[in-house]
Amino acid sequence: MRKNDRNYSKFLMVFLVMLGMGLFNQINAQEFKTISGTVTSEEGKALKGVNLFVPNTAYGSTTDAKGNFEMHIPADSKVVVNYIGFTTKTIDTSKEADFQLKLQKEEDLQEDTVKLSYANKKNKPKTRIIKIEK
């Protein structure tokens, strides 16, 4: 009877391992696609170092010195394009795979302020606030 128990436990172990592998493959069976393109400013200058990423994932890339990028991402995902001084853009990758993106400069509505502090040995520290107007 012990021999039957061993055979049964081996069968059960092999069955559970096979079942687990099948479920794991179904979970990870996700379609991917490669997108590429160029990111430029409105004036047509190539933008180096633009961040491109799929939100809430680890998929991302940056542009090279000529503004070119290439990404391997899940199919039907959205990509966020972000660069300092330019408006953030979200693109839908479900229909296209090659993109020519033009980013618009961000309007700066904040007033720049510089706080300058200095002191010398004889006097107390002094602070001056200088407003920079554009």
Q: What is the pLDDT of residues 34-90, one digit of tens each?
A: 999 999 999 999 999 999 999 998 899 999 999 999 999 988 889 999 999 899 999
CATH of the domain at 63: 2.60.40.1120
Q: What is the pLDDT of residues 113-126, one digit of tens each?
A: 666 666 666 666 66
pLDDT computed for residue 129 by the predictor: 63
Question: CB-based contacts of 75: which residues, under 8 Å, 6+ apart?
Answer: 30, 31, 32, 33, 93, 94
Residue 13 lies in a domain: yes
Taking the C-alpha atoms of residue 107 and residue 123, their distance in angstroms, rounded to an integer, is 42
> Do 50 and 99 sit in the same domain of this protein?
yes
> Do 84 and 36 sit in the same domain of this protein?
yes
pLDDT computed for residue 109 by the predictor: 54
Residue 121 lies in a domain: no
Residue 113 lies in a domain: no
> Do 97 and 45 sit in the same domain of this protein?
yes
- Cβ-contact 82, 54 below 8 angstroms: no
Count how many domains the chain has: 2
> Do 65 and 2 sit in the same domain of this protein?
no
Residue 39 lies in a domain: yes
Q: What is the pLDDT of residues 101-112, one digit of tens each?
A: 999 998 765 556
Residue-range definition of the domain harbouring residue 22: 1-30
> Do 13 and 72 sit in the same domain of this protein?
no
Q: Report pTM.
A: 0.60
pLDDT computed for residue 17 by the predictor: 75
> Do 52 and 92 sit in the same domain of this protein?
yes
In the predicted structure, residue 22 carries a pLDDT above the cut 70: no
